[in-house]
Amino acid sequence: MALNYAERMGNIRASEIRELLKLIEKPEVISFAGGLPAPELFPVEEMKEITREVLEEEGEKVLQYGTTEGYTPLRKKIAERMAKVGVNVTYENILITSGSQQGLDFTGKIFLDPGDVVICESPSYLGAINAFKAYQCSFAEVPTDDDGMIIEELEKILEKTERAKFIYVIPDFQNPSGRTWSVERRKRLVEVANKYNLPIIEDNPYGELRFEGERPPAIKHFDTEGRVIFLGTFSKTFCPGLRLGWTCADTEVLQKYILVKQGADLQTSTIAQRELNKFLEKYDLDEYIEKIKKVYKRRRDLMLNTMKEEFPEGIKYTYPEGGLFTWVELPEHINARELLEKAIEKNVAFVPGGSFFPNGGHENTMRLNYSNMDEERIVIGIKRLAEVIKEML
C-alpha cells in the first residue's frame, strides 16, 4: 500500500547500526559494532531491591504521572553533578529526558526549519545526524584533529554558510572517533559562537568514563551568554534501559525544551526517575563508575595492544583516554563496508565509518567498540579482523 507520507520521511533511513545489530544477534558473532555498556556490570541485585523499596514506600506516587520537568530531587542531584565540570546551575536548569537522544530530537524540533544547516564535527554521531535530518536540514562538516574541531575551519564555514542554525559537538571521547577536545578549543568555540550568535549543543554521554588524565571543564563552563545547551545521560554510567538523560540550559532556553517535551511524551517515566534517585541516595554512583572504568580500561588496552601486534603497517587508530570507541583509518583503497561483509563471514562485526559523515565519503574508516565484549573475544575478534584486512591489502 502506498500511503502518502510527509516529505520529511524522505530524509529518514534505517540507521545502519540498527540494521547491523539485527544481522549480528547470533551469539557466535564477536561484535565491536554497537555502543553498548557491559551488561554483566549492571547493578541488577541493587535494582531489584530498589524497585521493591520504591513500590513499597511510595507505590501510588511512583506509578502516577509526574511533572514534565522531572522529579525535583533527581534534578537537584544532577545539578550538583554538573558542578564537577565547572557548570554551576540549579535544578531549574535541568529537564529530565528519555535518554539524551530525546534531547537531540527536541533540539531539531526547536531550532531547525527546512533548509537550515547544522554545523557538526566530521565525523559526528549517527544518531544525532538522523534525529536532525527529520527536520529537513543539511549539514556542514567541520574538519577535526586530535584536539577537536579545527576552529579556523569552523570560521571559514560559518563565513560562507547563510543558514547555520546551531553547532553540534561531542567534546569528550567522541562517538565515533574517541577523541577529546582540548580546553583551548572549548574556549574558542564559545568565542566563535558568540560572534555568530549561534547555540552550541554539547552532547556528553562519555565524559565521566575517563580512565586516565584529567577531565576538562565542559564547554558550557565557558558560556557567559546562555548559548550552550548541555545534554547528559545515565545510559553509559548506569543503565541505558532506564532511558534517563537530561538537558541543562538557561531557564529561558530550557522552557522551549519543556514545551516540546509536553507535546512529545508529557514526562519521563516516573518510576525510572524514582529508582535512579533512590540508587543515588543509597549507593555511591561514582564508586560504581570506577568499577565500570576499570573493566573498560582493561578492554581498551587489550584491544589497542592486540591491534598494535596484529594489524598490518599503515593503519591509523585513535588512542581514547576513556569512553567506548576507537576509530580506525585504513589505507584509502580499502572500503570498510566491503571489509565488514568479509568480517561478518568470520563472525566479527564493526561499524563502517562512512555512516558518521553526513555528506558521505571516508569509506576507508571504521568504529570499534571495546566495552561490550569480554577480553577473550576482543583478542580473537581483533585477530580475525587483522586477517581480513591483510586479505584486502
Q: Does 203 bind ligand PMP (CB under 6 A)?
A: yes
235 binds ligand PMP per the rule CB under 6 A? yes
Question: Is residue 99 at the binding interface for ligand PMP, with CB under 6 A as the rule?
Answer: yes
Contact, 120 vs 157, CB < 8 A?
no
The residue among 33 and 388 lying less far from ligand PMP, judged by its C-beta, is 33
Measured distance CA(311)–CA(391) in Å, rounded? 12
Rounded Cα gap, residues 216 and 233, in angstroms: 18
Smallest gap, in angstroms, from Cβ of residue 238 to ligand PMP? 10
Contacts (CB under 6 A) with ligand PMP, residues 149-178 = 170, 175
CA distance 226 to 120: 20
Q: Which stretch binds ligand PMP (CB under 6 A): 95-103, 214-222, 307-315, 376-384?
A: 95-103
The CA distances from residue 115 to 139, 143, 162, 378, in Å, are 10, 22, 10, 43
**Residue 1, all three cell numbers:** 500500500
Q: Would you say 101 or 364 has its CB closer to ligand PMP?
A: 101
Q: Per rule CB under 6 A, is residue 267 in the interface with ligand PMP?
A: no
Instruction: Show the CA angle centred on residue 24, arms to residues 323 and 305, nearest 5°.
Output: 40
Least Cβ distance, residue 240 to ligand PMP (angstroms): 5
Q: Judge whether 173 and 179 are in contact, CB under 8 Å.
A: yes
Interaction between residue 106 and ligand PMP (CB under 6 A): no
> How many C-beta atoms surround the C-beta of residue 98 within 10 A?
19
- Structural contact between residues 170 and 138, judged by C-beta atoms closer than 8 angstroms: no
Q: Which of 70, 123, 178, 240 forms a contact with ligand PMP (CB under 6 A)? A: 240
CA of residue 241 relative to chain centroid, distance: 15
Distant-in-sequence, close-in-space partners of 280: CB < 8 Å, separation ≥ 6: 74, 77
5 to 44: interface string for ligand PMP, x by CB under 6 A: ------------------------------x---------
Instruction: Check: CB of residue 134 under 8 Å from CB of residue 8.
Output: yes
Coil vs helix vs strand at 87? coil
Q: Which is nearer to ligand PMP, 127 or 178 (CB)?
A: 127
Q: Judged by CB under 6 A, how many residues of this single chain contact ligand PMP?
A: 14
Chosen residue from 178, 207, 216, 245 binding ligand PMP by CB under 6 A: 245
Exactly one of 123, 148, 171, 205 binds ligand PMP (CB under 6 A); which one? 205
- x/- letters, 272..311, toward ligand PMP (CB under 6 A): ----------------------------------------
The total of other beta-carbon atoms located within 10 Å of residue 164's CB is: 19
Query: Residue of minimal CB distance from ligand PMP?
Result: 99
Q: How far apart (Å, rounded) are the C-alpha atoms in residues 319 and 325? A: 9
Q: Is residue 233 involved in binding ligand PMP (CB under 6 A)?
A: yes
Question: Does 70 help bind ligand PMP (rule: CB under 6 A)?
Answer: no
Using rule CB under 6 A, residue 355 touches ligand PMP = no
Nearer to ligand PMP, 125 or 296 (CB): 125
Are the beta carbons of 33 and 369 closer than 8 angstroms?
yes
Q: Which is nearer to ligand PMP, 180 or 235 (CB)?
A: 235
The stretch near ligand PMP (CB under 6 A) out of 37-45, 78-86, 94-102, 159-167 is: 94-102
First and final C-alpha spacing in the chain? 46
CA–CA distance, 235 with 104 (Å, rounded to integer) = 15
Which residues are at the interface with ligand PMP (CB under 6 A)? 35, 99-101, 125, 127, 170, 175, 203, 205, 233, 235, 240, 245
